Amino acid sequence: MSSGFTTKLHGPTVMDSGLDAAVRDETPDDPAEAAAFELLRRALDAAPQQKEMLAANEPMAVIVEVPAAEWVDLISIVWGELVWPDLIRGATGDALKRSFGWEPFEGSCWVAYSRDGTEQHHRPDVGNEGVSAILGAGCSVVGFSQSPERHLPRALIQVAEIRVVVPQMNREALTMVVGMLTGCRPSVEIPDRLHSLITIEALRLAWRPDRNADAYAARLLRLLERKANLRPQLTLDQMHGMDEAVAWGTALARDLAEFRRGCLPWSTVDRGALLFGPPGTGKTTFARALAGTCGVPLICGSLYQWQAAGHLGDMLKAMRATFNEARAMAPSILFIDEIDSFGDRASFMHEYRDYSTQVVNGFLEELDGVGGREGVVVVGACNTPDRMDPAILRSGRLDRAILVPRPNQEALERILRHHLGGDLPNVDLAAAALLALGGTGADCERWVRCARRHARHSSRAMTGDDLLEEIRGTRHARSTEEVYRYAIHEAGHALVLAVERPGALVIASIRETGDAQGGVVSDRRHRGLMTRKEIAGELRMLLGGRAAEEVVFGDVSAGAGGSADSDLARATALAVSALHAYGLDDGEDGLLWRGMPTPDALAAMLTARPDLGRRITAMLATAYAEAKDLITIRRKDLDAVAQLLIDRETVGGREIDALVSDMRI
């Protein structure tokens, strides 16, 4: 092997500023290749003992860890030109089929494994026999990867005598690269904060044939600044109504800053979190704000996006590519929307079970942080985590689950103010926030946008009434009798909740929203353990609306029934869960878990089990009778709450609690 480290790729570069450039035959034309040359040269100069070992004429195993996936191929090319210029590069390690006794091409003395994780075979259990064959034939083997333990053959990791760590681009390296390209030191400096954004694409996009050092550096600076501006500008201090998530994100931002400075090992940083809650509560927006606060890139993906790539192999490749992008830009936030769409392997019973299982397994392999996800924080989002595979939530993958609830009145006021910007600066938004209770951050954005549009089309400035009208929404003509019935129905729910669980009621409303004519919202944090007593109280609350109608009118409407989200459906599902899944059955089935009922399977389950249906009917009848008794006794409270709803459409839970408490006294 050669005893020196000159290259035959290019040659001496004359630099008028006297920079100590490597000897090259001619001025390079590819800035990315010049950058790979310089980064590898720096890595070798930083380890003189390894440099001396590489100059020895002996077969050896080498690992070269590159800063990002995109550098794998370029560094492997430059390796042969810079380290072993007098030797021929033999076959690709992944192409070797013989387990031993491989005969190299004439004159070849080294073989490369270049793995960036984009192919299915880029994993430790593939290629191990090739490593032994190469070494047994008297050749050297070099593995190039941004994550060697994750992608290179396990045998190469075990036998490697040398590990070369190629550094990321910095100010000094970039100066040398520009010098090699132009022969001059640039006077335009690129701030340190932008060096992590330098990619092969950026280096090439900024290049022009004029070979002007300052012009090239200026173009590269503009590219990087634009790229930096694409990073999320939203921050966590603009997120309202999700205190737990913001507290976690703020702590993560501090830890990531320490990690970037090298003061904190990755093992002490949270690897990720699951955000769950109703649609529109700001889970996606939170991910953007988290990236903005942390000052890191945000990369987004989803199962549906990856499946669009094609069959299973293409889908897994697309998934790996998203994770590789996040690793290449680490530290970074990888946001995975609708993460519950992966499902639970234990519940796969359909004809595509094998496919779905492989998808979950592939996702877990990418998600697992052992040696392959340093600097990448994964944030998943879904409406409910019940359908998720428990392995996804294991520590080291998504470390915790955080509820993102519907915002309360105070949070809604701040969210509305945020979306209003400079509009309505002197308008008190308390009334609008009260009317908006039950809405989400997404609703607030839509209400403000529509209010602006209405004012614009009317050729005038927006007013507070415009906003209130948008929050109220399109209202169909409702008779006095209809409004009264809606108010009694919702007052029934609210009364049972206020009496039995003071502080749990968030709002009661008869405002039209889509197909609904009103509703109540409760705070799940006030729910106790799921005991028989607690479930009985929940059933009374769910059936309280129908019970109130019967007490007041002597008959009932269909308002308690209908879809899977209706009062009756939710009460039925809860009762079935108590017997089927919670172990609260004193009947003939006894202590037996039969699984949580899903809305799709609930009707079929009750049809197939008439005995179960009879017991559920008895549970609901008991709860309904108890709700009627409570409402009959507290009829004055019911009427007072209903009148508040008629007068104001939406009433806060604290006011209803206070009203019921005062009337109790």
**Polymer length in residues for the chain:** 665
Phi and psi at residue 29, in whole multiples of 5°? -105, -15
**What DSSP line would sit under 360-401, residue for residue?**
HHHHHHHH--TTT-TTEEEEEEES-GGGS-GGGGSTTTS--E
Phi and psi at residue 149, in whole multiples of 5°? -65, -25
Q: What whole-number distance in Å separates Cα of residue 42 and Cα of residue 28?
A: 18
Q: Which residues pair with 509 in a beta bridge?
A: 519, 650
Burial 47-86 (b: 16+ CB within 10 A, else e): eeebbeebeeeeebbbbbbbbbbbbbbbbbbbbbbbbbee
Return the number of other C-beta atoms located less than 10 Å from residue 422's C-beta.
Answer: 5
Pairing type for strands 519-522 and 108-114 reads unpaired
Helices (runs of H) and strands (runs of E) counted in the chain: 25, 13
Name the amino acid, one letter, at 90. Answer: G
Residue 429 C-beta-side C-alpha neighbours within 13 Å = 25
Q: What whole-number distance in Å separates Cα of residue 540 and Cα of residue 660?
A: 17
Phi and psi at residue 386, in whole multiples of 5°? -60, -30
| 438 neighbors 406 (Cβ within 8 angstroms) | yes
The 8-class DSSP code of residue 525 comes to G
Give 280's contacts (C-beta < 8 A, 6+ positions apart): 440, 441, 442, 443
SS3 509: strand
Name the amino acid, one letter, at 185. Answer: R
Residue that is written with structure tokens 């079935």 in the block: 576
| 338 neighbors 135 (Cβ within 8 angstroms) | no
Name the amino acid, one letter, at 62. Answer: V
The Cα diameter of the chain in Å comes to 101
| 297 neighbors 196 (Cβ within 8 angstroms) | no
> Is 490 an annotated catalytic residue?
yes
Burial 182-194 (b: 16+ CB within 10 A, else e): bbbbbeeebeeeb
Catalytic member of 470, 490, 538, 549: 490
Return the structure tokens found at 397.
């993958």
Question: How buried is residue 333: exposed, middle or buried, by Cβ count under 10 Å (0-12/13-18/19+)?
Answer: buried
Give 398's contacts (C-beta < 8 A, 6+ positions apart): 271, 272, 273, 274, 367, 378, 380, 392
Name the amino acid, one letter, at 532. Answer: R
Rg (CA), the chain: 33
Give 62's contacts (C-beta < 8 A, 6+ positions apart): 54, 140, 141, 142, 143, 160, 161, 162, 163, 164
Q: What whole-number distance in Å separates Cα of residue 314 and Cα of residue 505?
A: 49
Active site residues: 490
